Amino acid sequence: MPVQTVSSFNLPTDKVILTHPTGATCEIKTFGATVTSWKVHGQERLFLSRLSDLEGNKPIRGGIPLVFPQFGKGPLMPGQHGFARHSTWEYMGVSKDDDSEIMVSFELRDSDATRASGWPYHFKLTYLVTLTATTLGTHLAVTNTDKVPIRFTALLHTYLTTPDISQVRIGQLGRLNYTDKVQNNLICFEERDQVTIQGETDRIYHSTPDTVPVEVAPGQVVNVKTINFRDTVVWNPWVEKAQAMADLDDQEYQQMICVESGSVHESVTLPSSQTWEAGQVLSVDSE
């Protein structure tokens, strides 16, 4: 079966599993509409902490959590990164299924819970996940169903897996400005042609190119192609932050790198009755 749904004791659809004819697979939890697995050529490409809560009690540590309408810490509850990754989305079914690609969709609308978070607007989010032989697409559409403009930030918090963080090389971010959150949001300039990780890293690279190649191991590259997102966040908690996270093993920071497509340096303003769309496509070269 190209699309399989898995129920739980309290959800008719807890997880959706896509299987491409070539053997590529991905899994999406309806909690947060979080992609938790993507395998190509039998190899897992996304990082998922072995301590991650998959029961819907807290956001999932790994995969591709969806950040909306707030990136980082801010006035909205329940905590940083907004309510989308805390919410159970409605699975809307299969949008496309043929020999080339499989697409499924999820939806989240405003509710008492989203308004109680401190974001009072009416909206509709549509999230498409598309699997091909060598790519994984994740596409977000935000529709403003309110009578006033809405402002938000949005990001795909992609965790890529690596056998060793010291091997990671991130291209196409050289000669760009970035906000360094480790240094109290200091605006810096990236002088290196390739970004490597040698300590705690939490950076928002501004106005990044459409495709950012991430070498996760020698000869293994995951290309992160963005669609209408402005920025790229690079994050690794390193030793002390990893030790402070209950849902991340103390040593797991060495097996992950977050390269995240988003519009977060400046917020998006969306007029009433309009729709804003953005997304990314992850791809691996033939191996």
Q: In this structure, what DSSP letter does residue 167 have? A: G
Which phi and psi (to 5°) does residue 182 adopt? Answer: -70, -30
Q: Is 109 exposed, middle or buried (0-12, 13-18, 19+ CB in 10 A)?
A: middle
Q: Consult the annotation and say whether 85 binds a ligand.
A: yes
Catalytic residue among 20, 157, 252, 265: 157
Please give the helix or strand (H or E) that residue 275 lies within, else none: strand 275-284
| Alpha helices (H) in the chain, listed in sequence order | 112-116, 238-244
Question: 157 catalytic, yes or no?
Answer: yes
Question: Is 61 annotated among the ligand-binding residues?
Answer: yes
Q: Answer whether 258's CB lies under 8 Å from 235's CB.
A: yes
Are the CB atoms for 145 and 111 separated by under 8 Å? no
Distances from the Cα of 67 to the Cα of 71, 79, 155, 217, angstroms: 6, 12, 5, 27
Which is catalytic among the residues 27, 86, 260, 265?
260
260 classed as catalytic = yes
Which three-class secondary structure string do you get for 55-122? Answer: CCCCCCCECECEECCCCCCCCCCCCCCCCHHHCECEEEEEEEECCCCEEEEEEEECCHHHHHCCCCCC
Q: Which residues are annotated as a binding site for substrate?
A: 61, 80, 85
Q: Which residues are annotated as a binding site?
A: 61, 80, 85
Catalytic residues: 157, 260
